[in-house]
Amino acid sequence: MRKIMNAPKDFVDDFLDGLLKAYPQDFRSAPGFTRAIARVEPTGADSKVAIVTGGGSGHLPLFLGYVGQGLCSAVAVGNTFSSPSAETILAATKASESGKGVLYLYGNYSGDCLNFDDAADMASEEGIETVTVRATDDVASAPPAASGSRRGVAGLTLAYKCAGAAAAAGYTLSETAAIAARSLANTRTMGVGLSPTIIPEAGRPTFQLSEDEMELGIGIHGEPGVRREQMGDANQITDVLIDAILAELELTASSRVVVLVNSLGATPEEELYIVYARVAHRLATDGVTVHRALVGRYATSLEMAGCSISIMVLDDELASLLEAPSYSPLLRLF
Amino acid sequence: MSESCANTALERMLRSLIDHEEEFRELDASAGDGDLGITVRSTATALSEWLPQNSGGSTSELLAGIAQVCASTSPSTFASLVSRGLSAAAKALEGQQREDLSSLVVALEAGIAMVQRRGGAVPGDKTFLDALVPALEAARTATSLTQALSLMRISAIAGTEQMVPVIPQHGRAAWVGERARGVPDAGSVVVIRALEALDGTGGQPWDGNTARQ
């Protein structure tokens, strides 16, 4: 394993230390909780619904990078690929809520669900109202009949953007939650892995792939995908992903969509644009309008090579929320 | 079991769990994300440091303290569920002075019920419940604490092996479906290794490799 790090057990605390030092004007840790990180709000900012997210480390810019203007308010940071504790989530909640309630918006992973649910109970005891919305956008992780058990992956990007804009525009907690839920209901993602992930503390790859193989339906934790196939060229790979997504979205010639082509970590932007070219061609063939495209690194799995494609169907309200101003030092958004 | 005896058994269990880190990592990587070895090792290491300073109280207090360490050190799904289960067991034993077979059964019943309620899995889903539930049933038939631990170990192994050919129905392993067939559930193997260390009667350690198909 070749990684630039000090003691593997300090991997998360060390990168957080550097990140907080790099962007002191954007991020602050909650008192006594170095892993509960909130946005530095401008002084005199109006009170609004806070959006708290969180999950394991190893996915940057997910989750921390989505704390920013017009995005999330705070994040709870876990160990690599491992949930943050309920206490950390509660600390992030208290560091960011301003009396309008808190939306818990995160990916559907059992550890995160347990700890966010416990944090919600503790917050409720302290008089803080929370509502939970979980991302389940990965089509490869369960059949449509069991879509509620799917995992959340890069589609969270679009939900953060829409819900964050809603909160900034003064939507109530239930309205903000409804926007997050609708964003996710309209979004499907599928990924392909070309090389494994190495968890710093484990020090070895989570799986082995031979040169001519790809792992279809991979998630963002180096977990195996649903099936292994012969490596194809960019158009063939893109077609497999896009076919799985389009099978569930029922797009018509009047549909407007956002496309997100996401690197799982190691895949360079050049390759992502080759993928995007095929996506654009496929959608144009169906007469679908691409309202906006995002191409880059949005939800990664450390140094895994591969990419995911997400497509979100827009309505007028979601489209206007997407256009609202937003900023995080870790992201390129619209 | 006397307090010092219980502490020795716990220390033996923690050492064994740390020693089996690689086994847990590899089993978890074949179906999940491969962090179980790290979770178990870091939690067991934190408990080894915590235990010597916190062993004076009742069994209920001890379990509640262990639960707290599990919740804060590396709260993955597994550690979080174990923590919730231990908290429930601690609550069930509150105010009890005796440490006997019946309190073990009471603690296991409360702990397992909480794991089922919070985790949402049922026996047969190929989770660590398939080691724990048979272990509880075995404890109910025992006539002494020593015999209970031995029977629990044997039953947990049988329950885990029975699930090897099955596709998991719950949690992260369920996402890989067919590919998790033929491999023992990683969380169940943690239960087996813990019970092996707690069972003072010894015996040959379980050979996880022959259980694979």
The Cα angle at residue A159 between residues A154 and A163, in degrees rounded to 5:
155
For A249-283, what is each residue's pLDDT tens digit? 989 999 999 999 999 999 999 999 999 999 999 99
The mean of the pLDDT values for chain B is 90
**Inter-chain residue contact B172 with A110, CB threshold 8 Å:** yes
Residue of B204, B114, B89 whose CA lies nearest to B157: B204
For A125-149, what is each residue's pLDDT tens digit? 999 999 999 999 999 988 898 899 9
Question: Given CB atoms, is B68 within the 8 Å cutoff of chain A?
Answer: no
pTM tops 0.80, yes or no: yes
Q: Which residue has the higher pLDDT, B33 or B122?
A: B122
Question: Could you tell me the fold of the domain covering B3-198?
Answer: 1.25.40
- A221, A278, A291, A297: the active-site residue: A221
Contact between A104 and A181 (Cβ < 8 Å): no
For B77, the closest of A79, A86, A111 (CB atoms) is A111
Residue B114 CA to residue B88 CA, distance in Å, equals: 6
pLDDT for the residue A78: 96
Give the confidence band of A108 by pLDDT, cuts at 50, 70, 90: very high
Residue B155 CA to residue B135 CA, distance in Å, equals: 5
Residue A291 annotated in active site: no
ipTM metric: 0.79
Rg, chain A, Cα only: 19
> Which positions in chain B touch A84 (Cβ < 8 Å)?
75
User: Among positive and negative, which fits the CA dihedral B62, B63, B64, B69?
Assistant: positive
> Which positions in chain B touch A201 (Cβ < 8 Å)?
38, 42
Residue B58 CA to residue B97 CA, distance in Å, equals: 7
CA distance B22 to chain A (A): 9
Question: Given CB atoms, is B147 within the 8 Å cutoff of chain A?
Answer: no
Q: How many residues does chain B have?
A: 213
Structural tokens at position A28: 């602050």
- A35, A59, A151, A161: the active-site residue: A59
For each of the domains in chain A, give its residue range(s) and CATH number, in order of start: 12-185 (3.40.50.10440), 187-314 (3.30.1180.20)
Structural tokens at position A267: 């895949």
CA distance to A47, A49, A234, A278, A314, per residue, from A286 (Å): 44, 39, 20, 13, 16
Query: Does residue A186 sit in helix, strand or coil?
Result: coil
Phi and psi at residue B49, in whole multiples of 5°?
-80, -35
Residue B188 scores a pLDDT above 80: yes
> Which positions in chain A touch B120 (Cβ < 8 Å)?
110
Phi and psi at residue A214, in whole multiples of 5°?
-135, 155
Residue B136 CA to residue B133 CA, distance in Å, equals: 5
Q: Where are the alpha helices (DSSP H) in A150-208?
A: 156-168, 173-185
Contact between A151 and A136 (Cβ < 8 Å): yes
Phi and psi at residue A318, in whole multiples of 5°?
-65, -40
> Which positions in chain B touch A56 (Cβ < 8 Å)?
35
CA distance to A1, A41, B124, per residue, from A133 (Å): 37, 23, 29
Residue B88 CA to residue B131 CA, distance in Å, equals: 18
CA distance A326 to chain B (A): 32
Q: Is the peptide bond before A63 cis (omega within 30 degrees of 0)?
A: yes
For A166-212, what is each residue's pLDDT tens digit? 999 999 999 999 999 999 999 999 999 999 999 998 888 888 889 89
Residue A281 annotated in active site: no
pLDDT for the residue A106: 98
